[in-house]
Structure 1
Amino acid sequence: MGRRFRGESHHKVDAKGRVSIPASFRRVLEAGDPDWTEGLNPNLVIVYGDHRRNYLECYTMEAIDEVDDKIAALPRGSMERRMLQRMFHGQSFPTNVDETGRLVLPAKLREKIELDKEAFFIAAGDTFQIWKPETYEEEELSRTEAWLDELPDDFDPLIYLDQAKDQAGGGDGA
Structure 2
Amino acid sequence: MALFLSTFVNRIDKKGRTSVPATFRSALASGVFQGIVAYRSFTGPCIEGCGMDFMERLSDGAQNFDAFSPEQDSLASLIFADARQLAWDPEGRISLPEDILAHAGITDAVAFVGKGQTFQIWEPEAYKAVEADIRARALAQRPTLALRPKIPAGG
The interval holding the TM-score normalised by the smaller chain is: 0.7 to 0.9
Please tell me whether the aligned partners of residues 21 and 101 of structure 1 are also in contact (alpha carbons under 8 angstroms).
yes
Task: Tell me how far apart the structure 1 counterparts of residues 41 and 8 of structure 2 sit (CA, whole Å).
Answer: 23
Equivalent position SS for 2:114: strand
Structure 2 residue aligned with 1:38: none
Residue 136 (structure 2) aligned to one of 146, 151, 161: 146
Residue correspondence of structure 1 range 1-174 to structure 2 within 5 A: 2-31=1-30, 33-34=31-32, 42-50=34-42, 52-139=43-130, 141-151=131-141, 159-162=144-147, 165=148
Please tell me whether the aligned partners of residues 49 and 92 of structure 1 are also in contact (alpha carbons under 8 angstroms).
no
Per-residue CA deviations over 1:52-86 (Å, capped at 9, x if unaligned) read 53111111010010001111332112111011101
Task: Tell me how far apart the structure 1 counterparts of residues 76 and 96 of structure 2 sit (CA, whole Å).
Answer: 22
What TM-score does the superposition give when structure 2 sets the normalisation length?
Answer: 0.87
Over aligned residues, Cα RMSD in angstroms? 1.8
How far does residue 49 in structure 1 lie from its aligned partner after superposition?
A: 3.8
Structure 2 runs not aligned, ≥5 long: 150-155
Which residue identity lines up with residue 150 of structure 1 in the other structure?
Answer: A
The aligned length equals 149
Equivalent position SS for 1:150: helix
Per-residue CA deviations over 1:88-123 (Å, capped at 9, x if unaligned) read 111221221111101101111111111011101111
Q: Which has the higher contact order (CA 8 A, sep 6+)?
A: 2
Question: Larger Cα Rg: Structure 1 or Structure 2?
Answer: 1
Please tell me whether the aligned partners of residues 8 and 120 of structure 1 are also in contact (alpha carbons under 8 angstroms).
yes
Which residue identity lines up with residue 86 of structure 1 in the other structure?
Answer: S
What TM-score does the superposition give when structure 1 sets the normalisation length?
Answer: 0.78
Please tell me whether the aligned partners of residues 2 and 51 of structure 2 are also in contact (alpha carbons under 8 angstroms).
no
Equivalent position SS for 1:88: helix
Equivalent position SS for 2:121: strand
Equivalent pairs: percent with the same residue?
Answer: 23
Deviating beyond 4 angstroms after TM superposition, the runs of 4 or more aligned structure 1 residues are: none
Please tell me whether the aligned partners of residues 18 and 104 of structure 1 are also in contact (alpha carbons under 8 angstroms).
yes
